[in-house]
Amino acid sequence: MIAELDATFLAEVSGLIAERMGLHFPEERWPDLARDLKTASQELGFEYPDACVSWLRTRELTAQHIETLASHLTVGETYFFRDPESFEVLQREILPPLIARRIDTGRTLRLWSAGCCTGEEAYSLAISCARSLPDLPTWNVSVLATDINPKSLAKAEAGVYSPWSFRGTPDPFRGGFFSPAPGKNLRIGAVVKNLVHFRYLNLAEDLYPSLHNHTNAMDVIFCRNVLMYFTPDHQRRVVAALYRCLVDGGYLLVNPAEASHSLFPMFTMENIGGVILFRKTPRVTGVESRPGNVPTNPALPVPAFSTAPAPAAPRLIPHLMPPPSPIDPVPPVLLAPPITPLSGEDFLRVAGVYANQGRLEEALALCRDAIAVNSTNPAAYFLCAMICQELGRLEEAVATLGKVLYLDQDFILAHHALGSLYKRLRKPRESKRHLAIALELLLARGRDEIVPESDGVTCGRLVESVQAMAGP
């Protein structure tokens, strides 16, 4: 019982929770911890918190347990257009130049609400995009919305909100983004809903950026009122990973109270009308990820072109060989003669890096080059499919995943991706079938084994993702 939770016990629990979940409970928050632990213990089936903690000590915590604990230990407080100044800056200062740059180059916008809770922030981002794009149907706008709390995600997915969620929105009906729902509630309209994709992601544990969870190449990330839950060490790691998820010139917005400058040394800080923005400064001022620029992000894998002597005329790929420019000379890695013929693996490595940077069409072209070199490599088709999905070409992604399975019917990630794609395409039978196969293949492997062709995702973690997707 709470009265019996002594300081030694709470110190131990807060240490365990920090280690397993990245959540920070300093001494002044131990009363909260004691209260939350009691309710979490009950949901986990323990009569008393100390029994729950003994079990926590066994370290057999699954993602499901972490989710339950997180839903009690974190506060799910949010509403539409919370901190309206941030959304004004988004719509006035961030989106217009971004849209101008992308209008002739892909028409893609990628935003992420990291720690989205019940979805109000993610839908507010999507509404901001819809308001900024009168020709919305001609754009590929994607708002990724992730959280550690599956109950919040389920509510977000449902898209029905009580008036309390609109306490910062004087006129929610403006723009026709909502329709009335029973009991004074409002339902988010299909146009905006289709832009938002909700997914489970533990910011403290999961791997990002990654094409597999769509956390790559973000233009804007809202991660507000989330960092405050993490230990300083986890805060630094999360911010560094979010930095890598952004394209050059991309923005990260956090709650001003979380914006301690020392956490964001890699960003350029901008203050627009009192709103603090953290910008991933482009390498060359005013130039956004131009075709031909070699990947610059030091945290990303640098494509390892072989520089061993070439036998004959090297195979040079036009879209990898831009003309030299005084402001952005061709990087030595691409000039260094002689260059051996590029292998399919070379193409795929660079394609992955480009995809992470949001250079999706170039990445796709490189995948096709990889396939031209070796048409029987399922990994090349798989990357191709992931990129098609990001480009909004869902049917093409499905067809390409079919080719992956033709070459390797046990390609776990292809089944997993098809499960997710068919769900989006509202084909539940096909979705369930592929998720069941993915599950069977995963269960035949060890929990800690790395899933082939993944960025280091363990089989155990993917099992939980499949189970969450498959539903009860």
Question: Which residue ranges make up the site for ligand SAM (CB under 6 A)?
Answer: 22, 70, 74-78, 82, 115-117, 121, 147-149, 152, 202-204, 224-226, 229
Distance CA 108, CA 102 (A): 7
Using the minimum distance from each CB to ligand SAM, give the nearer residue, 139 or 230: 230
Q: How far is the CB of 37 from ligand SAM (least distance, A)?
A: 16
Q: Any bridge partners for residue 186, and if so which?
A: 161, 180
Q: How far is the CB of 222 from ligand SAM (least distance, A)?
A: 6
Strand order from edge to edge, sheet including 275-279: 196-200, 140-147, 108-114, 218-222, 246-253, 275-279, 268-272
Q: How far is the CB of 39 from ligand SAM (least distance, A)?
A: 15
Using the minimum distance from each CB to ligand SAM, give the nearer residue, 153 or 439: 153
Note whether 252 and 246 are within 8 A (CB). yes
Three-state DSSP at 373 gives helix
Using the minimum distance from each CB to ligand SAM, give the nearer residue, 84 or 402: 84
Using the minimum distance from each CB to ligand SAM, give the nearer residue, 215 or 289: 215
Q: How far is the CB of 73 from ligand SAM (least distance, A)?
A: 8
Note whether 357 and 217 are within 8 A (CB). yes
Chain CA centroid to CA 165, Å: 24
Q: How far is the CB of 200 from ligand SAM (least distance, A)?
A: 8
Using the minimum distance from each CB to ligand SAM, give the nearer residue, 250 or 282: 250
Using the minimum distance from each CB to ligand SAM, give the nearer residue, 228 or 334: 228
Q: How far is the CB of 115 from ligand SAM (least distance, A)?
A: 3
Q: Extract long-range pairs of 49-55: CB within 8 Å, 24+ residues apart.
A: 49/1, 49/2, 49/5, 49/13, 50/4, 50/5, 50/9, 53/9, 53/12, 53/13, 53/16
Using the minimum distance from each CB to ligand SAM, give the nearer residue, 22 or 292: 22
Q: How far is the CB of 94 from ligand SAM (least distance, A)?
A: 17
Chain CA centroid to CA 459, Å: 19
Chain position carrying tokens 């940077």: 357
Distance CA 115, CA 111 (A): 13
Three-state DSSP at 179 gives strand
Note whether 260 and 232 are within 8 A (CB). no
